[in-house]
Structure 1
Amino acid sequence: MIYQADEQPAYCIIGGELCVVDTHARTLTVMSSAATFDILREDLAGDRVGAVPETWDPQPHDRNTDRPKVCHMVKLTPGSPEYTLVQNKFLSSTGRVRVLSIERVQSPALWEQFFVIKRNMLSRNSTKPIEKELWHGTNAEACREISPNGFNRRYSGQHGTAYGKGTYFAVNASYSAHDRYSSPDAQGRKKMYLAKVLTGEYTSGRRHMFVPPRRQDSSGLSYDSTVDDIKTPTTYVVFHDAQAYPQYLITFKTIPN
């Protein structure tokens, strides 16, 4: 997103949410939750905001629109370095499972939204890491929405909202692999995303929270996410859909004892 100096406040859609951009105050406000993020001005002569990762394949064109596909699922080759890296991360924190496939999710618009939020968050949290790779278990039907459109916190509550009414991610894949979250289909196939999540500055979550509370300092800023345990978090909750990008989709089966 690039803004000229003389632009007036404008509306835009990010992660399926209506937002208002105030270029004078340099803020972006999500209308449904009133959550506000700082925005950065970009030099029009500089690099393109949200350039997709160099490791992505070329985005194929949609035959109906003759434009690049909104979402391209790239099935990784078993044994390739990328496949092995993701598989090892998955198996290192799961029990008896068999990986059936790993797909890279290439959704350029989602990636750009994620990139914008990341840049804004970096401007507020310059002294600590803000991004983590976390797990999100789900089902095949939800995958058809998540891969092209991103995570949607409106579905929170289906499996509990103990730490806030946002989208939940786990540190350990074994937690997300539970049937409660990654429900198997008729053939026993289960789904899980390895996601890039902008956790930023976090605090303890509470069931009633629709947005993170304000930080306990003089900055006037809100926390970026909530967690189950502030000292050793195992669950993170984000409240802006563009705070997480569904990087890889893993299809797997649980091996019976």
Structure 2
Amino acid sequence: MDEYDFSGRVVLVAGAGGLGGAIAAGFAAHGASVAVADRDGERAAGLAAELAARHRVATAGIVVDVTDEEAVGSMVEAVARDLGGLDVLVNAHGATVRTRAEDLAPADWRRILEVNATGVFLCCQAAGAHMGRSGGGAIVNLSSVRGRFGATFGQTEYSASKGAVDALTRSLAAQWAELGIRVNAVAPTFVETDLTRTVLADERFAASLRASIPMGRWAEAEDVVGPVLFFASPAARFVTGQILYVDGGLTARV
């Protein structure tokens, strides 16, 4: 039995950016039907079409604002209707700003928490309700090492939001185990994506970050795909409520 064969299973990836795109491609390469949801409808549709052509799997591209409860509910309904169910949810959306706490605008605080924490909750809530009625499933949240320890260079709101994701992951895992729903999180260090590229453009900061990681580099999107597939697969059938750090050894020093 190939525990990483996702043929016949439906995966919803919320977030079609660098990480979300790589994760969606990973599932499609292993035979899953994949729905990609993003606030940017063209990006979601384009990625869905690309995956369908490359991997010969059923796909869907969906426009969604993850902070809109009604829109999130409609997203889950559309996936279940158009692709025949929902077995796996991956929350890969996110936002950040790089501002010291004393200079952080309350509007930015609220926006980041809404996207990174409330948005994850709403997606989990809607998907979990469907999975609970359908015999179970797997949810994988994208967290960060910043949920474990603070960032001295700013990103107070980002660290707080990822700490919330970690706590939410554990809480839902405990509540939903009896429904057959497993909930885990993958927490990478900095991954070079559109979201972090402006931060890593600061050469001095990028060099200090690289020096703090025992393996000597920051993460790439592909480094995150395997752990996500593991949590979603039968290989992790008895694993729930866990936060897996994909950080080149960074947290081993903390």
Same fold (TM over 0.5): no
TM-score (norm 1): 0.24
The structure in which a higher percent of residues are strand is 1
TM-score (norm 2): 0.24
The structure in which a higher percent of residues are helix is 2
Task: Work out which of the two has the higher radius of gyration on C-alpha atoms and give 1 or 2.
Answer: 1
